[in-house]
Amino acid sequence: MPLTGREAELARLDGLIGRAGGGVPVIVAVRGERGVGKSALLEAVAARAADAGFRVGTAAGGPAVRDSLFAAARQALGRPDDGTDTLDGHVARGRDVMARTPLALCVDDLMDVDASSATWLVALASLDRPVPLLIVAAAGDDPGSGRTAGAAELLARAEHLELTGLPEAGIAEFAARHCGLALDAAAAAVCHELTGGNPGLLLAHLAGRPGPAVTARELRGAAGPEALRCTRRWLDDLPRPALAMARAVAVLGDSAEVAHAAALAELPVPDALHAIDTLVARQVLANRVPPAFRHPLLGTAVLAGMPVGSRIAAHLKVARFLRDEQWGAERVAQQLAAAGPTGLDWAVEPLRAAARKLLHEGRAEEASRYLRCVLRDRLPADVRSAVRRELAEAETFVDPDLALSELDTLLRESEDPEVCAELALDVAGMLIDRARPADAASVLDETAERIGAGHPAAVRRLTLRKASVSLLDAAGPSAEARRLADADAAEPSGGGRSRELANLRAAIAADRGTDRDAALAPAREALTGAEGGDLGRLWQSCATLIRADELVEARAHCWRTGRLSRAMSGRRAGLAADIFRARICRVAGDLPGAVAILRPVVEEIGPGSAALPMVAGFAVAGLVEALAQLGDQDEAAALLAAHGVAGHGPDDDLHARYEGPYLLAARAALWRLRGEPGRAAVDLLAAGRQLVRRGAVSPAVLPWRSRAALALAADGATDRAETLAREELEAARRWGTPRSIGVARHALAMTRSGERRLMLLTEAVRHLEASPARLELAVARADLGAALRAAGRTAEADRECAAALALAGECGATPLARRLRAAPEPVPAHDKPVRTHPLLTPQELKIAGLARSGHTNRQISQMLFLTMRTVEFHLSGVYRKLGIAGRQGLAAAIPAEPSAEPPEDQARPAAQPADGRPRHTGPAPCSCSRALPPGQPCADTPVRPSRWHDGPRSAELRPSPSR
């Protein structure tokens, strides 16, 4: 059978056979670890040499012949003609053979060849005239000399051919050819990981597997009997300290510390180090620190070869000193899981802590394994119930049906009213995640009825949650929810019920959009003192902060959730925080930041997720919209298709889904990018119908009227567009944020022409400058520039287009930047020069100018609302482009940064209130006597400049350490 994966080695040996046949002695040392295929390669060389006309002699060393005289020489060519075992006689016989035909000697296990035969091989290679001789000897991969002087000299004179394991790409072919098994890519990767491609270990690991196909999960299981027999050649005859050290490293697993291994093996550290050297020389351990097996399968075999009681005791011993030395819950849990059920009270918490950590990192399957380990022990009833709830949380990401079934079983088994209420809330939360709010409401109703009036606090919690669930109904909040939201009597502060009620009030007030402050107050009340995991059910309050443009405050809550959810079972809360962080980035115009946050979320839960369809829908909607505005329509379209909404009509199955309007709006953004405004308008109008039907009329929820007006205006339906834009402007004035008003004025402007368009666009820009909406400001300034150019006001148009292009670049809005570059080249304004540099981007130039002025990286990050890492990244790029070593070279490479201080007559932001909470920055009050609706600013009201546009925004703003 031909060798697999050794084509390059055989090609090289063919060349050496040809050279030896031409009368040039050739010595080849084939090196490699045990099982790598040295003997098989020697057999192949012998066959090829015989085909080339060589006389082939084979020999092998070993303990049985190591002390015999000329044992290998006799194996290869027999006894000399005179019958004497002398060096001269064996050399003469070899010379006689080479006088008639080329000679190939293939010697296996050179290190165990007897000394006299090794001397004979050296003598044949040292004859005083060229001879047609090929010596191919197999030796271990120890770089040191051989056991005898002759072997050492032969190795020193030889050409070395290093054999390594088969590549991963050759594993499947090897398994099919030698074992008759079919391996897919994942199974082949597992085989390569466990064996390093070592053919001997591969054969042993695959032997006895039921065919014809083997999965990766099966291959990761325990080593079979054949693997144990095969690995004995690595372990046989090991000294006792070396065997103890091998077992210690096997028990400790990855990252085994020498001190820990020595303690487990009960060896002094010097003796442990000597034992490690022995194991490295025997090719059991890799020659690296920390100690680790050359191939993981060897470690598995060592563990399997230990008596079961000794193995469990060793795992528990390691778990104790890892716990005592505070090496982390995950490493302790690995040892406890390997030990199995032990009944130790202290073992429960490390396993639960490790599961929480893994769940936060998205490794739900591993978290489930640790929690099942906990449940195998005898536990108090309350602890067992809590662990089963945690297991259901983890199983949500692995097997959502099983998780829901487990929680439902727990709910039916529980008799404690408070525990029943907690479980009902968990089941309802899981049903909500799966877009089943009606079922969630039924569970809450049934549990409240089961608990009865004797437990009013528990029933009150269930009633409040049912009211919150009704927010997700396509028909809008229930009458009970509206009654609770409008009730004058407030819940006592400081409890979970109070936060839930405040969250309900914030959500309904934000949907109504009549009073921004009336929505903000309960939102802040709901989030104050909330646990990290609470964001999963208090997400409406965080959404209200974002809708009110309180981005710094909302970001702080998201950041805190990300930190606290590490210490609790709450990956769903972490996903909610990620989606809100991305929404904050989108509002602030940081499109790359939004994509960077949402892409891993979508990859983790998957578009069209059965476990978390609503979360997946919001994540996909945000990612699609950001990608469309970045200009990546292919990825955006693929995401919509994967989520199952690319081909739906606007009123098909999206109308009953809470996230449906956002998916329709995202799809509309893609239609606009593709130049189909009519289809975009259809989707946006459908989204608006759904929002209005459930009472969400505020433009801060989704500015669908403005977006639909822009699409309709681009499609020629200006009358309908103007009606929608006017409705949006009235609603925006009621809500009162500059962003909403500016977006609505922009949409209304695009339905007009001439001076009226110019006036409305100018007002839109003024409002958007006082908001965090950089992308909307960029679009408004681009349209204002086009309107000014059409009016013949070229200088002003150039100023607006230059400002819009800079903003588009900061936001990453490639389609907008492309549109602006296609317009006539803008001329920098004279009253505010636009600094440029032939090698640097505007962002790099701004950062470099501040660094040139002596600002530290931290100061720059605070001034420009960037992370420290972003500043460092841009400065590194500046140094590389300018060819300078650091800050010292900036003074000569770039001009000084103009003063960033505003002129004396420029309005400054108002001072923050004493409580440190950022206050909404709206238009300044007007003293004129015009009769205006409440919340509507006068057209002549001066809009003061905002801190939002002093520089680029970053994807991440964290509270300072002092907060």
Give the CATH number for residue 287.
1.10.10
On whether both 17 and 143 belong to a single domain, the answer is yes
Token pair of 612, please? 């978390």
Lowest mean pLDDT among 606-615, 621-630, 671-680, 885-894: 606-615
- Chain centroid offset of residue 156 CA: 50
The residue that leads in pLDDT, 120 or 896, is 120
DSSP secondary structure string for all residues of 803-828: HHHHHHHHHT-HHHHHHHHHSSPPPP
CATH code, domain with 846: 1.10.10.10
C-alpha–C-alpha distance, residues 782 and 803, integer Å: 8
Residue 722 belongs to some domain of the structure:
yes
What does pLDDT average to over the chain? 82
Average pLDDT over residues 30-41: 90
- The per-residue pLDDT for range 879-934, each reduced to its tens digit, is 888 888 888 888 877 766 544 333 333 333 333 333 333 333 334 334 333 333 43
The residue that leads in pLDDT, 816 or 932, is 816
Give percent above pLDDT 90 in the chain: 35
On whether both 769 and 752 belong to a single domain, the answer is yes
C-alpha–C-alpha distance, residues 125 and 283, integer Å: 30
C-alpha–C-alpha distance, residues 453 and 443, integer Å: 17
Task: Name the residue range of residue 705's domain.
Answer: 697-824
In degrees, rounded to 5, the angle at the alpha carbon of residue 939 between the alpha carbons of residues 933 and 940 is 125
Neighbouring residues of 834: CB distance < 8 A, sequence distance ≥ 6: 802, 806, 828, 842
Residue 379 belongs to some domain of the structure:
no
Among residues 727, 673, 720, 672, the alpha carbon closest in space to that of 703 is found at: 727
C-alpha–C-alpha distance, residues 506 and 518, integer Å: 7
pLDDT reported for residue 958: 32
CA 474 to each of CA 110, 438, 536, 745: distance values in angstroms, whole numbers, following the listed order: 80, 11, 20, 30
Among residues 894, 934, 562, the alpha carbon closest in space to that of 734 is found at: 934
pTM for this entry: 0.58
SS (H, E, C) 717-747: CHHHHHHHHHHHHHHHHHHCCHHHHHHHHHH
Residue 618 belongs to some domain of the structure:
no
Q: For residue 23, which amino acid is it? A: G
Give the confidence band of 583 by pLDDT, cuts at 50, 70, 90: very high
On whether both 157 and 37 belong to a single domain, the answer is yes
Phi, psi dihedral angles at 793 (to 5 degrees): -95, 75
Q: Where among 203, 221, 239 does a domain terminate? A: 221
Residue 707 belongs to some domain of the structure:
yes
**Burial grade of 877 (CB within 10 A; 0-12, 13-18, 19 or more):** middle
- Chain centroid offset of residue 370 CA: 22
Lowest mean pLDDT among 297-306, 925-934, 952-961: 952-961
Q: Are 235 and 303 in contact (CB under 8 A)?
A: no
On whether both 174 and 159 belong to a single domain, the answer is no
Q: Are 677 and 669 in contact (CB under 8 A)?
A: no
Q: To which residue do tokens 């090929």 refer?
A: 134
In terms of average pLDDT, the best of 414-423, 746-755, 931-940, 949-958 is 746-755
User: Positive or negative CA dihedral for 694, 698, 699, 701?
Assistant: negative
Q: Are 536 and 360 in contact (CB under 8 A)?
A: no
- In eight-state DSSP terms, residue 183 is E
pLDDT reported for residue 903: 36
Among residues 467, 520, 476, the alpha carbon closest in space to that of 497 is found at: 467
pLDDT reported for residue 899: 43
Residue 937 belongs to some domain of the structure:
no
Q: Are 920 and 737 in contact (CB under 8 A)?
A: yes
**Burial grade of 691 (CB within 10 A; 0-12, 13-18, 19 or more):** buried
Residue 244 in this model has a pLDDT that exceeds 90: yes
Q: Are 271 and 279 in contact (CB under 8 A)?
A: no
pLDDT reported for residue 654: 63
Q: Is 221 left (phi over 0), alpha (psi -120 to 50) or beta?
A: beta
pLDDT reported for residue 531: 55
In terms of average pLDDT, the best of 80-94, 148-162, 945-959 is 148-162
- The per-residue pLDDT for range 369-386, each reduced to its tens digit, is 888 888 888 888 888 888
Lowest mean pLDDT among 38-52, 58-72, 605-619: 605-619
Residue 213 in this model has a pLDDT that exceeds 50: yes
On whether both 795 and 717 belong to a single domain, the answer is yes
Token pair of 85, please? 């075992």
3-state secondary structure of 209: coil
Strands 159-162 and 26-31: parallel
Half-sphere exposure of 249 toward its Cβ, with a 13 Å CA cutoff? Answer: 31
Q: Where among 119, 137, 163 does a domain terminate? A: 163
User: Positive or negative CA dihedral for 818, 820, 825, 828?
Assistant: negative
Give percent above pLDDT 70 in the chain: 84
C-alpha–C-alpha distance, residues 532 and 275, integer Å: 49
Tally of domains within the chain: 6
Residue 940 in this model has a pLDDT that exceeds 60: no
Lowest mean pLDDT among 262-266, 322-326, 574-578, 596-600: 574-578
pLDDT reported for residue 571: 59
On whether both 152 and 200 belong to a single domain, the answer is no
Residue 21 belongs to some domain of the structure:
yes
Total length of the chain: 963
On whether both 790 and 736 belong to a single domain, the answer is yes
Give the confidence band of 859 by pLDDT, cuts at 50, 70, 90: confident
C-alpha–C-alpha distance, residues 143 and 152, integer Å: 11
- The per-residue pLDDT for range 696-737, each reduced to its tens digit, is 999 999 999 999 999 999 988 989 999 999 999 999 999 999
Lowest mean pLDDT among 649-653, 763-767, 834-838: 649-653
CA 828 to each of CA 456, 796, 802, 846, 903: distance values in angstroms, whole numbers, following the listed order: 69, 10, 7, 16, 20
pLDDT reported for residue 824: 57
On whether both 192 and 271 belong to a single domain, the answer is no
C-alpha–C-alpha distance, residues 186 and 682, integer Å: 45
Average pLDDT over residues 672-698: 91
On whether both 63 and 148 belong to a single domain, the answer is yes
Q: To which residue do tokens 């372990």 refer?
A: 235
DSSP secondary structure string for all residues of 470-519: GGGSTT-S-HHHHHHHH-SSPPPSSSHHHHHHHHHHHHHHHHHTS-HHHH
On whether both 158 and 175 belong to a single domain, the answer is no
Residue 166 in this model has a pLDDT that exceeds 80: yes
On whether both 237 and 294 belong to a single domain, the answer is yes
Residue 479 in this model has a pLDDT that exceeds 60: yes
Q: Is 671 left (phi over 0), alpha (psi -120 to 50) or beta?
A: alpha
On whether both 738 and 872 belong to a single domain, the answer is no
- Chain centroid offset of residue 747 CA: 39
Token pair of 959, please? 């509270």
b/e burial code for range 4-36 (CB count within 10 A of at least 16 → b): bbbeebeeebeebbeebbeeebbbbbbbbbbbb
Residue 786 belongs to some domain of the structure:
yes
Residue 447 belongs to some domain of the structure:
yes
Q: Where among 824, 859, 880 does a domain terminate? A: 824
DSSP secondary structure string for all residues of 25-46: -EEEEEE--TTSSHHHHHHHHH
C-alpha–C-alpha distance, residues 224 and 300, integer Å: 10
